[in-house]
């Protein structure tokens, strides 16, 4: 143990150059958030935490038949834990949409394949001929002027021992930054652009047309969740191209450090799917990563996203 303490001491005294925003040892922000969550109670649902500060499994609920009072508790748990999970939910795509619409207006994804009967339901059907490529930390459609509020993902066919989804708590990630770094990024904005992700499969003409439809957008690096009032570190390595009004080299270094916060295991939870599971995440407060360790086995999921507000 002395080696760990020596490393922390040497990092603090400058003998070992630290990675910006990263340090060994306990993270006080995790303790504060975990204690806050421990004090929360629910009357109509059973909630079992999955991670220290993010994720909870909810039981005793049939998502096809949720009364208003129970829905309000589910929504409160979703806001508090940032992502909630349900097992044994053998619901249809139509029932999935009906439940998702209680959060708000559904959006259509302009680049991903949809369920053949429902344009608002994105279908992820992977296997021998179609590999999974969602294994990068990201927040859904952050390149929209109004990124998704929430996503509701349903498992249809999943491998037994692979294909998990990981989630990162970007609220506690922000709280875990040191005060100097918080001050440095306050008021900064980053540019989000689909071009280097979904644009890679388009020819020049199609890309130009899509770029007119979805031009790069500027969002604050630190956004506020209007439902909770809490600040969120809102950058990701997939869709953010650069930080506005900053030297390119300095901005790239800072952006890398901020994106790296999603990689911290202490800020994460991991969910192992079974057929008939549903996950609902607050797309503002989280990032997610779909582990692509199941090829060539089949993994079939369907997702519905809810339109959100302009980040502020």
Catalytic residue among 140, 169, 193, 282: 140
From the list 299, 267, 272, 306, the residue with the least C-alpha distance to 97 is: 306
Specify burial of residue 28 (Cβ count, 10 A radius: 0-12, 13-18, 19+).
exposed
Q: CA-CA distance, 79 to 112, in Å (whole number)?
A: 27
Dihedral, 108, 297, 270, 85 alpha carbons, nearest 10: 50
Beta strand 56-59 with 83-86 is: parallel
180 is catalytic: no
161 is catalytic: no
Contact assessment for residue 269 and residue 168, using Cβ atoms and an 8 Å cutoff: no
Under DSSP, the state recorded for 138 is: B
Under DSSP, the state recorded for 310 is: P
CA distances from 280 to 32, 189, 267 (A): 24, 27, 18
Q: CA-CA distance, 49 to 55, in Å (whole number)?
A: 6
Specify burial of residue 209 (Cβ count, 10 A radius: 0-12, 13-18, 19+).
exposed
Catalytic residue among 27, 109, 219, 303: 303
Residues whose CB is less than 8 angstroms from the CB of residue 257 and which lie 6 or more positions away in sequence, other chains included: 19, 20, 21, 22, 181
288 is catalytic: yes
**Apex 236 CA angle, 254 and 264, nearest 5:** 80
Catalytic residue among 109, 138, 189, 192: 138
Contact assessment for residue 88 and residue 61, using Cβ atoms and an 8 Å cutoff: no
Q: Which residues are catalytic?
A: 138, 140, 288, 303
């Amino acid at each position: 143990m002395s080696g760990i303490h020596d490393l922390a001491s040497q990092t603090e005294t400058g003998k070992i150059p630290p990675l910006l925003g990263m340090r060994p040892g306990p993270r006080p922000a995790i303790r504060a958030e975990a204690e806050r969550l421990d004090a929360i109670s629910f009357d109509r649902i059973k909630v079992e935490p999955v991670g220290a500060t993010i994720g909870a499994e909810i039981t005793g609920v049939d998502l096809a038949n949720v009364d208003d009072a129970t829905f309000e508790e589910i929504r409160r748990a979703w806001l508090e834990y940032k992502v909630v999970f349900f097992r044994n939910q053998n619901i249809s795509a139509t029932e999935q949409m009906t439940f998702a619409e209680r959060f708000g207006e559904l959006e259509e994804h302009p680049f991903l394949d949809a369920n053949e009967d429902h344009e608002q339901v994105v279908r992820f059907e992977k296997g021998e001929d179609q590999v999974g490529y969602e294994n990068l930390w990201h927040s859904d459609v952050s390149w929209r002027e109004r990124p998704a509020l929430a996503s509701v993902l349903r498992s249809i066919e999943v491998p037994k021992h692979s294909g998990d989804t990981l989630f990162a708590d970007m609220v506690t990630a922000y709280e875990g930054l040191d005060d100097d770094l918080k001050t440095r990024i306050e008021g900064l904005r980053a540019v989000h652009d689909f071009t280097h992700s979904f644009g890679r499969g388009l020819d020049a003409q199609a890309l130009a047309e899509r770029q007119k439809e979805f031009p790069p957008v500027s969002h604050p690096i630190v956004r506020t969740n209007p439902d909770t009032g809490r600040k969120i570190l809102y950058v990701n390595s997939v869709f953010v191209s650069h930080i506005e009004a900053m030297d390119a080299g300095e901005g790239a270094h800072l952006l890398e450090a901020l994106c790296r916060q999603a990689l911290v295991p202490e800020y994460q939870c991991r969910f192992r799917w079974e057929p008939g599971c549903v996950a609902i995440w607050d797309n503002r407060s989280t990032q997610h990563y779909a582990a692509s360790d199941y090829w060539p086995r089949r993994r079939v999921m369907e997702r519905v996203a809810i339109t959100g507000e302009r980040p502020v």
